[in-house]
Amino acid sequence: MASRRSTVHRSSLPPGHFDLPVLCVVANDKQFFADLFPELIPWFQVVLRHSCHNLARWTREADVQAVILDLDFDPGSNALAVLNELRRLNPEFVLLSLSDSKQPSMQKQALQAGADAHFRSPVDIPDLRLSLAELLRTRSAEISRQNLLRQAQESSRFQSFIGYSEPMRAVYAAIE
């Protein structure tokens, strides 16, 4: 399993921090990360990556729930393709994109590639944190709802297969 590399040591993190959602930030702007980290660390495990190399595989192995991807981090790479690959491989990810681009089409391209939200630099960091937290909350609620629906459908198919007794028929009638 891949190790989580971060600029922060485990001993400097608050107790229980490793129960928090894992957020991966892919950026090369050290000042942005220095401003972002204190705002996010109380609510997330924040991992900084300077490359998209094997990002999709690494995020699966590290149980990452959200990715913030700076689309300008490496001018030679196709960050939109990386965003699209992340979305395709894990529709449950929360994906945020950032860009310095003043072109209105950049936001549209990022959203089409799979971003849940796009921010233009300079980023309002408290707004980014609130958006991230809300997206994670709604995504988690949607996943829970889908799991409950799937369980109910499986239970219904099982009951149809084996049938159910008169006492159970009364219980199901009461629930409906």
Instruction: Specify the CATH number for the domain of residue 22.
Output: 3.40.50.2300
Total number of domains constituting the chain? 1
**Helix or strand or coil: residue 53?**
coil
Mean pLDDT, residues 147-161 taken together: 72
The model's pTM: 0.72
Which long-range contacts (C-beta less than 8 Å, at least 24 apart) are formed by 33-36? 33/7, 35/125, 36/123, 36/125, 36/128
Residue 173 is predicted with a pLDDT of: 63
Residue 38 lies in a domain: yes
Residue 172 is predicted with a pLDDT of: 61
- pLDDT of 30 above 70: yes
- pLDDT of 129 above 90: yes
Mean pLDDT, residues 87-112 taken together: 90
If phi > 0 it is left, if psi is from -120 to 50 it is alpha, else beta; for residue 92 that is alpha
Residue 1 lies in a domain: no
Residue 167 is predicted with a pLDDT of: 62
Residues 6+ apart with CB under 8 A from 163: none
Structure tokens at 75: 């001018």
Mean pLDDT, residues 83-100 taken together: 91
How confident is residue 4, by pLDDT bands cut at 50, 70 and 90? Answer: very low
Mean pLDDT, residues 3-26 taken together: 59
**φ, ψ of residue 138 in degrees (nearest 5):** -70, -35
- pLDDT of 125 above 70: yes
Q: Which CA distances in Å does 119 have to 54, 71, 168?
A: 24, 10, 53
Of residues 54, 125, 76, the one with CA closest to residue 96: 125
Q: Cα–Cα distance between 20 and 173 in angstroms, integer?
A: 41
Residue 161 lies in a domain: no
Residue type, 89: L
39-49: pLDDT as tens digits = 998 889 999 88
Residue 124 is predicted with a pLDDT of: 92
Residue 108 lies in a domain: yes
- Rank 79-83, 158-162, 172-176 by mean pLDDT and report only the highest: 79-83
Residue 170 lies in a domain: no
Residue 2 lies in a domain: no
Residue 16 lies in a domain: yes
Residue 60 lies in a domain: yes
Instruction: Provide the domain limits for residue 41.
Output: 10-145
Count of CB atoms within 10 A of residue 20's CB? 17
Q: pLDDT averaged over the chain?
A: 80
Residues 24 and 2: beta-carbon distance below 8 Å: no
Residue 8 is predicted with a pLDDT of: 42
